[in-house]
Amino acid sequence: MKKKGMIFSGIAAIVIIAIIASISVFQSVNESLNLDMGQTHGKVSTATGSPILGSDSAPITIIEFGDYQCPQCYNWFHSTKDSVVKNYIETGKSNLVFVDLAFLGSDSPKAAAATYCAEEQGKYWEFHDLLYTSQEGIDSGWANSDHLKAFAFSLGLDMKLFDSCIDSGKFDKRVQFNINEAKKQGVSATPTFIIVNSNGQQQKLVGAQPYAVFKDVIDSMI
């Protein structure tokens, strides 16, 4: 019995340490980035995700969990997103938040962090779109630091600020927080979408679903 008690005590200690570490990361991200860490949509924390695309007051929020090296995310971006933006985001019926699940390769977290370096200069969505326009094979070098800096240059960003941001790892914790949030929500594949309405009702879609699927779900939730 004494041995079992020691085992349970050890497990409890590990759990407590994990909780403290999680809180520490949460506070560190908040303090360093001055973000609204209380921002949620439904049960999902979107505090460290992208800027909101569309109206803040839209009755529907589409939360996209994605990886910039994900081929199916690329497919959704090129085959479905434009229709969703035109018919729902530009009309004020919905908005969109991108949350990183940067797990497919070693360059994935770098690419995600680079979007937040671009956000500092007001170019998050431009950089986001450029990554999905430029995607090649996973860890083939297209999203390494040199290429990310080249993308920033092509967008006319202040390269001294951007290079410093990338090289310092300034947004690494933010990306990791997003990865942890994806796991917390049971997201294990990209792209995964959680669609939330103003009443907190939410529905999950997995994969590069066609526009018709999004239309049916969003219309049923408005």
Per-residue pLDDT of the chain (222 residues; tens, 9 = 90+): 555 555 544 444 443 443 344 444 445 455 555 666 778 999 999 999 999 999 999 999 999 999 999 999 999 999 999 999 999 999 999 999 999 999 999 999 999 999 999 999 999 999 999 999 999 999 999 999 999 999 999 999 999 999 999 999 999 999 999 999 999 999 999 999 999 999 999 999 999 999 999 999 999 999
Instruction: State how far the Cα of 174 lies from the Cα of 195, in Å rounded to an integer.
Output: 22
Backbone angles phi, psi at 155, to 5 degrees: -90, 0
Q: Looking at the domain that runs over 39-221, which CATH code has it been given?
A: 3.40.30.10
Cite the beta strand spans of 49-125 per DSSP E: 60-66, 94-100
